[in-house]
Amino acid sequence: MDTCLQPSISRRSLLASTAALFATNTTAARARTVTQMLPWEPGMATPPVPVRPGPWMFFMADEAALVEAAVDRLIPPDDRGPGGKDAGCAVFIDRQLAGPYGRGDGLYMKPPFMRGAATQGYQMPDSPAARYRTGLRALADYVKVKFPGSSFPELPADDQDKVLAGLESGSIALKNVSGAQFFALLLQNTQEGFFSDPVYGGNRDMVGWKLVGFPGTRYDYRDWVERHNEPYPLPPVSIMGRSDWTVRE
């Protein structure tokens, strides 16, 4: 029979105004055997699922408080704009840890786990979620000992900064956890939260992008490539749009 390059969902209709498009029984959107037809179905898309505001999905209440305080020191609020907390970095991290990233999906997790040279990469079996559980607890324990009667969120900002700096440099030792490695992970995730698309829960209102002047998901700069040394005037836009997309009444 004729080769056809359209899946039969675009099978022609018939009774004029009344005709229906008949979809075939092609199964999954992803064809396993592809021959003579380019797999395609209407509405096929895998956009990110927007993070919705709501209760913490991974953090316990005290963990969330700690992380919120920490991200607000890693990226403090100032006259340039909101800090990590208001930007939603803790929400971002929470949702990431509750999902495939937190679980460590896709990593090679077969034993034996052995320590090797630094050049051989991360060799521990802990997923990011596990590392946060142990890291946050170890940090909370440290604070309890070093600052009796206070938790990390209750410390004055200067002390919080000192703790973070100590973790970063390795001068503060946490029990059974590398403070420096945990700090690096927390910093990395915080900055991801500050600069990733707002659909993931952070970079609220695109504040991170506005800080540096990144236009977001814009996809056409043809008219601007050769406009050297000129500031780009359009506001940033994200995967779910921007306020100008809303029809004003």
Residues 42-101 close enough to bind another protein by CB under 8 A: 42-48, 73-76, 78, 80, 101
Say which residues have a Cβ less than 8 Å from residue 132's Cβ, sequence separation at least 6. Answer: 58, 63, 93, 97, 102, 185, 186
Axis-axis angle for helices 89-97, 128-146 (nearest 10): 130
- For another protein, give the closer residue by CB, 7 or 175: 7
Q: How far is CA 165 from CA 55, 70, 172, in A?
A: 30, 11, 9
- For another protein, give the closer residue by CB, 154 or 244: 244
Q: Which amino acid is at 9?
A: I
- For another protein, give the closer residue by CB, 119 or 176: 119
- For another protein, give the closer residue by CB, 30 or 61: 30
Of the residues 27, 35, 171, 185, which one makes contact with another protein according to CB under 8 A: 35
Quick one: which segment of 29-37, 51-59, 61-69, 132-140 binds another protein (CB under 8 A)? 29-37
Q: At 238, is the secondary structure helix, strand, or coil?
A: strand
The answer to whether 176 contacts another protein (rule: CB under 8 A) is no
Q: Between residue 121 and residue 140, which ones bind another protein under the rule CB under 8 A?
A: 121-123
Quick one: which segment of 11-19, 59-67, 129-137, 139-147 binds another protein (CB under 8 A)? 11-19
Which element (helix H / strand E) includes 182?
helix 179-195
The answer to whether 195 contacts another protein (rule: CB under 8 A) is yes
Taking the C-alpha atoms of residue 58 and residue 49, their distance in angstroms, rounded to an integer, is 17
